[in-house]
Amino acid sequence: MDFIFYFGEVFTFTSMLLLIGGTIGGLIMGATPGLSPTMTVALLIPFTFNMTPVHGLILLGAAYTSTVAGGAVSAILLKIPGAPANIATTLDGNAMARKGEGAKALQLSFIASLIGGIFGVFLLIFLTPVLAKMANSFGYSHTFWLAIIGVTVIGSLEAGSVVKGLLSGCIGMWLATIGFDDIQGVKRFVFHPAIAGGVNIIPALIGLFAIPQVITMFAKGRFQNDVEQIQVKKHPIAKAFQEVFSRKRALIIGTSIGSLIGLIPGVGGQIAGLLAYDQAKKFSPEKKKFGTGHSEGVIAAESANNAMVGPSLVPLLTLSIPGSPTAAVLLGGLIIHGIFPGPTLFQQYPEVIWPFINSMLIGQILMCIFGIYIASLAARVAQVPQFIMAAIVLGLAAFGSFAVQQSMGDVYVMVVLGTMMYFLERFGFSAAPLVLGLILGPIAESNFVTGSLISTAQNGPFVYFFTGGLNILLVSIVMLSVGFSIWSEINTKRQS
């Protein structure tokens, strides 16, 4: 129970000041499209140089936690995910906002994030040795099949049909091949200098979700303040808590999947939210309500996003293997302060690591308190006149895309992909599967190529990818996922 012994360090004046500042700043950064948790933590690292290691890590941990949750604000109100992890939140969150339930959706997202986040941090505290051993058992073949499982999820995400969902995902995976192959160094599909380094996920994310909305707004000539009909309904906090706990199935699915995905090195929270949303939809008796403003979709996605945070630090702290891109940046923050993760970390630096972990626990509570406080105020974004909102969204999109690498090339990529998505949506294709394909493409490709190279020195690719208990389990899940999506679509058409 070492973590209890070091709990007092979190409540010192400096620690609490940094914790509150990091939480509020993280919520603001997370709500800004393009400013992902990874970028937020990276931007804050230079400010920790002159701090003690424990204070520096408390600031970074608070920003990490709250930025993940803060991304739900723009996802719900503007249908622009604050970060890739919030893609699934747009599917039902924005539909709720359009019905005047923006405040309720934000309350549900922050409460679900609190519950998922606390569960994830407790896993980090109590099950670190067991979870680290489990994470270390994932090889290249297993991570490849996990990415393929994510691809099969595409078929049931928001698109009108499984075929269109999978085609959208394939387009995304093709976009992921643009640039130089990381393993073999081969140049692929580089027809403009702006994409020589590949398609960056943040400009692509902003373009695919934001630009179609702006084009639609201008195409229809909707320059009048036509949103008076959308009333922001007040929603009591007590009822929000009651609804979250009444949706136990979505909460359990989201928390469980987020914890597991966070544990697996290199996967990231964007897959956690989408997988949790997909599974919550499959197991729900109210499948048809998903995508129309159903609270289960918001609860599952956001509980998974924050449940991923704690477990993503397990392989980082014990094996020096980051469980997410943001955890990789945190690794740099640790090393800068002379702390090298490994099996003996908790014995060598308990006075630094335990206050850091404890601060993340308190940070989850602060994140929920501040998030709920701003929910009713932020929900009034839905009442802003359309022509003003179009200009604001376009400005934020350009700023967020440019800020990633300070490159106008990223802005061009955002515009081109957004325009392309506008026409694809006219034919019933969806942005969410395309973005998921773009995210999963590099994971699937790099692990497949590396696994294939390793298999040539062993018993061949077939044995490497298709034998072993874990491989067989993952392949079975792939087949079941595809089969279930097809069966569900056929059954829905029969009923209609």
pLDDT at 46 over 80: no
How many domains does the chain divide into?
Answer: 1
Q: What pLDDT score was predicted for residue 154?
A: 60
pLDDT digits (tens, 9 = 90+) for 335-393: 777 887 776 777 788 888 888 889 989 999 999 998 888 766 765 665 566 667 677 77
pLDDT of residue 119: 92
Q: What is the pLDDT of residue 365?
A: 92
The pLDDT of residue 138: 73
The more confidently predicted of residues 154 and 124 is 124
pLDDT top residue among 480 and 328: 480
pLDDT at 228 over 50: no
Asked whether residue 491 carries a pLDDT value surpassing 80, the answer given is: no
Whether the predicted pLDDT of 16 surpasses 90: yes
User: Do 477 and 151 contact (CB within 8 A), yes or no?
Assistant: no
- Least reliable range by pLDDT among 71-80, 181-190, 214-223, 237-246: 214-223
Least confident of 12-21, 28-37, 117-126, 425-434: 28-37
* Averaged pLDDT for residues 75-96: 83
Percent of the chain residues past pLDDT 90, beyond the cut:
13
How far is it, in rounded angstroms, from Cα 42 to Cα 322?
A: 14
CA distances from 243 to 147, 254, 306, 391 (A): 32, 15, 19, 35
The Cα–Cα gap between 85 and 33 comes to: 12
Q: What is the pLDDT of residues 88-99, one digit of tens each?
A: 888 898 888 888
pLDDT value of residue 21: 92
Task: Using alpha carbons, list the distances in angstroms from residue 274 to 149, 202, 250, 383, 474.
Answer: 11, 17, 13, 29, 17
Reported residue count of the chain is 496
pTM for the complete prediction? Answer: 0.70
HSE of 62, CA atoms in CB hemisphere, 13 A = 28
pLDDT, position 130: 66
Q: Can you give 159-205 as a three-state secondary structure string?
A: CCCHHHHHHHHHHHHHHHCCEECCCCCCEECCCCHHHCCCCCHHHHH
Q: Say yes or no to pLDDT of 159 above 60.
A: no
pLDDT at res. 390: 75
> What amino acid occupies position 362?
I
Q: What is the mean pLDDT of residues 274-283?
A: 86
Q: What is the mean pLDDT of residues 454-460?
A: 86
Is there a contact between 482 and 152 (Cβ–Cβ < 8 Å)?
yes
109 — pLDDT class (breaks 50, 70, 90) = very high
pLDDT category of residue 36 using cuts at 50, 70 and 90 = low
Q: Percent of the chain at pLDDT above 70?
A: 84
**Mean pLDDT score, 107-126:** 90
Whether 476 has a pLDDT exceeding 80, the answer reads yes
pLDDT recorded at residue 74: 82
Question: Which pLDDT band, with edges at 50, 70 and 90, does 1 fall under?
Answer: low
Least confident window among 141-150, 317-326, 355-364: 317-326
Q: What is the band of 224 on the pLDDT scale with cuts at 50, 70, 90?
A: very low
Tokens of 81: 């995910």
Report the 3 state secondary structure along the chain.
CHHHHCHHHHHCHHHHHHHHHHHHHHHHHHHCCCCCHHHHHHHHHHHHCCCCHHHHHHHHHHHHHHHHHHHHHHHHHCCCCCCHHHHHHHHHHHHHHHCCCHHHHHHHHHHHHHHHHHHHHHHHHHCHHHHHHHHHCCCHHHHHHHHHHHHHHHHHCCCCCHHHHHHHHHHHHHHHCCEECCCCCCEECCCCHHHCCCCCHHHHHHHHHHHHHHHHHHHCCCCCCCCCCCCCCCCCHHHHHHHHHHCHHHHHHHHHHHHHHHHCCCCCHHHHHHHHHHHHHHHCCCHHHCCCCCHHHHHHHHHHHHHCHHHHCHHHHHHCCCCCHHHHHHHHHHHHCCCCCCCCHHHHCHHHHHHHHHHHHHHHHHHHHHHHHHHHHHHHHHHCCHHHHHHHHHHHHHHHHHHHHCCHHHHHHHHHHHHHHHHHHHCCCCHHHHHHHHHHHHHHHHHHHHHHHHHCCCCCHHHHHHCCHHHHHHHHHHHHHHHHHHHHHHHHHHHC
Across the chain, what does the average pLDDT equal? 81
In the structure, what pLDDT confidence band is assigned to residue 223 with cuts at 50, 70 and 90?
Answer: very low
pLDDT of residue 436: 74
Domain hosting residue 209, numbered range: 2-495
Confidence of residue 33 (pLDDT cuts 50, 70, 90): low
pLDDT band, residue 9 (cuts 50/70/90): confident
Confidence of residue 155 (pLDDT cuts 50, 70, 90): low
Of the ranges 354-358, 408-412, 414-418, 439-443, which one carries the lowest mean pLDDT score?
A: 439-443
